[in-house]
Amino acid sequence: MSESYNQSGGTSVIVIGAGIIGVSTALALQDRGHAVTLLDRRGVAEETSRGNAGAFAFTDVEPLASPGILLKAPKWLLDPLGPLSLRPAYAHKMLPWARHFYAASRPRRHKASISAQARLMTLSRAALVRLIARVEGEPLMRREGQLQVYEGEAEYRASLPAWELRRQHGIAFDLLESPEAIAEIQPGLASRFTHAGFTPDWMNTVDPKLWTEHLAACFRAAGGVIETNDVQAMVQQGDAVVLETTAGLLRADQVVVAAGAWSHRLARTLGDRIPLETERGYNTTFPTCTFDLRTHVTFSNHGFVVSKIGDGLRVGGSVELGGLELPPNYRRSEVLVQKAVQFLPGFDGTGGTQWMGFRPSMPDSLPAIGRSPRADRVTYAFGHGHLGLTQSAGTAEIVADIVARRPLALNIAPYAPLRFGGQP
């Protein structure tokens, strides 16, 4: 196997997708001496990485696919504007993914997914510390923790097994059992919230778009190339990968696919069938804060969060299963804002900008990280679902080691892209 080495001993690598996963990966590859080109059909952070809630949610080790969700889902699905919804026009297309999701929710698989998620979180957290230092990124971070609030004793008690799980994985938290204790961390919440869990080590970026753009600027400043280009297909030919793009054919020694919720379409061109779906999420961003938000607040039983973004506030969440083509239903954003107005007395709730993004989701909530079995010069890095920002720095380090064929800091078998057997 021969590769064309550049002066610093690295090979030429094309990364497809300039969301947070692609940009972080491009930077990590560049730091290891590769000549890297980053391609995106729209630009840097123009899709899902632009509008997320901005949280590094290292404490969220429990996958969506869980025994608990199987109990809650039927009730949620009956409410078309509830935390989880399925667009009827898309229902039949969801069946294969839903079958894998169901299997991944069984207790044994669920337990294995939690361990794999926790290991990736530990690595990602350490990698983020390295990345912040590398790019002088501290001014783009907030360290204000996260408050997960509950309405009444019964809801709180039902959450305790999840907190016990976090404890088993070494996650620090405080349980708050009175409105007064909650008010010490976040004053002004509606009195219906009587209990909470606080995770002090949770971090946020001041703005996920700015953070991704900052990483892209560091990549460019060190000689990295970013081009607007739409990749249609890939093929491995001898010692190179050839990309068919709207700007013609491109060649590289290695390729990384970090195309978010569209990645499975590229994988298909190699013959790899990967059950990637999208969990569409909605939010509304307010340019100024009419509520004194002191931490990231999660209303988990309502499926949404409020976080500070820049000088403003973002209300976002919900999961809509509806594929990549159906138009957004912004009633979902409106419902979340109506709830935020009730839950945060004094919050104005007018003048916001609505947005929908495509979470790239595998059935077991673990990402797809690893080489294509059909083309060993193509590495996949996608499918991070609700946690793409959180796991971006760790994913980037793993992928850089895969490309360089170096020993890995983590057993990546649980994230094998074809772990569902190649059936969509």
Which residues of this protein are in contact with ligand FAD, per CB under 6 A? 16-22, 39-42, 46-49, 52-55, 57, 230-231, 258-262, 266, 281, 283, 316-317, 357, 359-360, 382, 384-390
* Distance of closest approach, residue 324 Cβ to ligand FAD, in angstroms: 10
**Cβ proximity to ligand FAD, 194 vs 377, nearer residue:** 377
Backbone CA torsion sign across 157, 145, 311, 188: positive
* Distance of closest approach, residue 45 Cβ to ligand FAD, in angstroms: 7
Strands in 225-228's sheet, in edge-to-edge order, are: 225-228, 35-40, 12-16, 254-257, 378-382, 368-371
The CA-atom distances, in angstroms, between 350 and each of 52, 268, 284 are 20, 43, 10
H or E element that contains 183: helix 179-185
Among 410, 266, 262, 404, which residue's Cα sits nearest to residue 324? Answer: 262
* Distance of closest approach, residue 66 Cβ to ligand FAD, in angstroms: 18
* Distance of closest approach, residue 279 Cβ to ligand FAD, in angstroms: 7
**Cβ proximity to ligand FAD, 176 vs 306, nearer residue:** 306
**Cβ proximity to ligand FAD, 47 vs 253, nearer residue:** 47
What are the residues whose beta carbons fall under 8 Å from the beta carbon of 102, sequence distance 6 or more? 70
For 174, other C-beta atoms within 10 Å of its C-beta total 13
Q: Of all residues in the chain, what percent are helix, strand and coil, respectively (each to 5)?
A: 35, 25, 35
Report the phi/psi class of residue 313: left, alpha or beta, with left for phi > 0 and alpha for psi in -120 to 50: beta
Structure tokens at 294: 């002191």
* Distance of closest approach, residue 234 Cβ to ligand FAD, in angstroms: 10
Angle formed at CA 205 by CA 341 and CA 302, multiple of 5 degrees? 35
Q: Do the Cβ atoms of 19 and 260 come closer than 8 Å?
A: yes
Structure tokens at 100: 């894998």
Q: Do the Cβ atoms of 277 and 97 come closer than 8 Å?
A: yes
* Distance of closest approach, residue 65 Cβ to ligand FAD, in angstroms: 16
Q: Do the Cβ atoms of 365 and 319 come closer than 8 Å?
A: no
* Distance of closest approach, residue 242 Cβ to ligand FAD, in angstroms: 15
What are the residues whose beta carbons fall under 8 Å from the beta carbon of 415, sequence distance 6 or more? 116, 120, 366, 367, 368, 369, 370
* Distance of closest approach, residue 62 Cβ to ligand FAD, in angstroms: 14
**Cβ proximity to ligand FAD, 31 vs 40, nearer residue:** 40
**Cβ proximity to ligand FAD, 382 vs 420, nearer residue:** 382
Structure tokens at 3: 């590769």
* Distance of closest approach, residue 191 Cβ to ligand FAD, in angstroms: 27
**Cβ proximity to ligand FAD, 156 vs 332, nearer residue:** 332
**Cβ proximity to ligand FAD, 343 vs 380, nearer residue:** 380
**Cβ proximity to ligand FAD, 19 vs 370, nearer residue:** 19
**Cβ proximity to ligand FAD, 156 vs 211, nearer residue:** 211
